[in-house]
Amino acid sequence: MSTVVLLLLTGLGLGALYFLIASGLSLIWGLMRVLNFAHGALFTVAAYVAWSAVQPLANGDPLVAWLVGLVVAIVTGGVCGMLLEVFLIRPLYARPIGQILVTVGVALAAVALIEGAYGSDPKQMILPPWMSASTHILGADLPNTRLLLIAVALAVLAALLMFLRRTRYGLVIRAGVENRAMVSALGINVERAFTVVFTIGGIAAGLAGYLAGTYFGYVDPTRGTSMLIFAFIVVVIGGLGSVTGSAIAAAVVAIVQQFLNFYAAPGVGDFSVVILLAAALLLRPRSGESA
């Protein structure tokens, strides 16, 4: 029983991490119809900038250092997302293929720059003692980082839904997607609203990058790319543009992955994720639409 509980809760922790990176992708696609392949680059750059920022604090309070890194990662992700939209995506809104090519180029360039600046070896994270400990739940010792990720993912989900449904900017963005000309005629700056969407997506990517470092205990240049693959799978299964669908899909994908990797064989769980994706596309061909 304790093994099942452990696999279930660690699966939810991994699913929370998948959701954190997938939420930005889902938001940007659902509201702007932009497939942002540079999302993993934002994830990686934010994680490394935050890691650099906390190194001078290594001999101080680990909690303070970790919180400083968290703030730096969020700010870095948001700024990078904003700059990406303003300078590279905005001129290409009418050219979807151009968007894909430029974001893929940014992703490749970012990884190369990070490896050139920091090397390819993983960088150890500074974690507070609580995050290196475990909590006993229903007979299972669950790493506290998994509980942290679950709590953060739930908070992010609630915040995104609140933003889209209850705030003026959320309503403007949704209206701008449906009829950009009409919203612009009302004197509303739709371009600014779209920049806000990319900034929020960047913040989600930066948060995911830093918490991935917390989850694994280190940051490395290729983590963003590997996480982006699972994030795209989660977004497609959950319905491109559906934040709630992405949250549910992330939990299902991660739990299936954890159980099959343990009870079948290592790697079977990862392969099963591809099977889930194929099933979603075959049984629900319009799974790539907003839900």
Q: According to the model, what pLDDT value does residue 38 have?
A: 95
**CA–CA dist 253, 13 (Å, integer):** 12
Of 173, 181, 178, 164, nearest to 243 by C-alpha is 164
What pLDDT, in 10s, does the model give residues 177-233?
566 666 667 677 777 878 988 999 999 999 999 999 999 999 999 999 999 999 989
pLDDT of residue 216: 95
Buried b / exposed e across 57-71, counting CB within 10 Å, b at 16+?
A: beeeebeebbebbbe
- Give CA separation, 93 vs 32, 89, 101, 225, 236, in Å: 9, 6, 13, 24, 21
Backbone phi, psi, residue 162, to 5°: -65, -45
Q: What pLDDT is stored for residue 291 in this prediction?
A: 40
Examine the pLDDT at 142 and tell me if it is beyond 80: yes
Place of tokens 């250092």: 65
Q: Is the pLDDT of residue 68 over 60?
A: yes
What whole-number percentage of the chain has pLDDT above 70? 91
- Furthest CA-CA distance within the chain: 61
CA distance 231 to 10: 17
**176, pLDDT greater than 80:** no
Query: Which residue would you say has higher pLDDT here, 278 or 216?
Result: 216
Residues with Cβ within 8 Å of residue 54, at least 6 apart in sequence: 65, 66, 68, 69, 72, 126
Residues in the chain: 291
pLDDT digits (tens, 9 = 90+) for 76-118: 999 999 999 999 999 998 898 999 999 999 999 999 999 999 9
Distance CA 62, CA 167 (A): 36
Q: Please state, in angstroms and rounded to a whole number, the distance separating the CA atoms of residues 230 and 272.
A: 12
Whether the predicted pLDDT of 21 surpasses 50: yes
How many whole angstroms separate alpha carbon 113 and alpha carbon 202?
A: 19
Predicted local distance difference test score (pLDDT) of residue 50: 98
Cα Rg, the chain, nearest whole Å: 19
pLDDT at 181: 67
**pLDDT value, residue 287:** 53
pLDDT at 222: 92
Express as a percent the part of the chain with pLDDT over 90. Answer: 63
Is the predicted pLDDT of residue 290 greater than 50, yes or no?
A: no
Give the pLDDT band of residue 172 (cuts 50, 70, 90).
confident
**Could you give the angle at the alpha carbon of 24 between the alpha carbons of 157 and 187, nearest 5°?**
95
The mean pLDDT value for 148-175 works out to: 87
The predicted pLDDT at position 82 comes to 96
Q: Across 4-8, 123-127, 224-228, 274-278, which has the greatest mean pLDDT?
A: 123-127
How far is it, in rounded angstroms, from Cα 263 to Cα 268?
Answer: 9
Residue 233's alpha-carbon distances to 24, 51, 166, 202, in angstroms, are: 14, 28, 28, 19
Q: How high is the pLDDT of residue 73?
A: 98
Instruction: Work out the mean pLDDT of the chain and round it to a whole number.
Output: 89
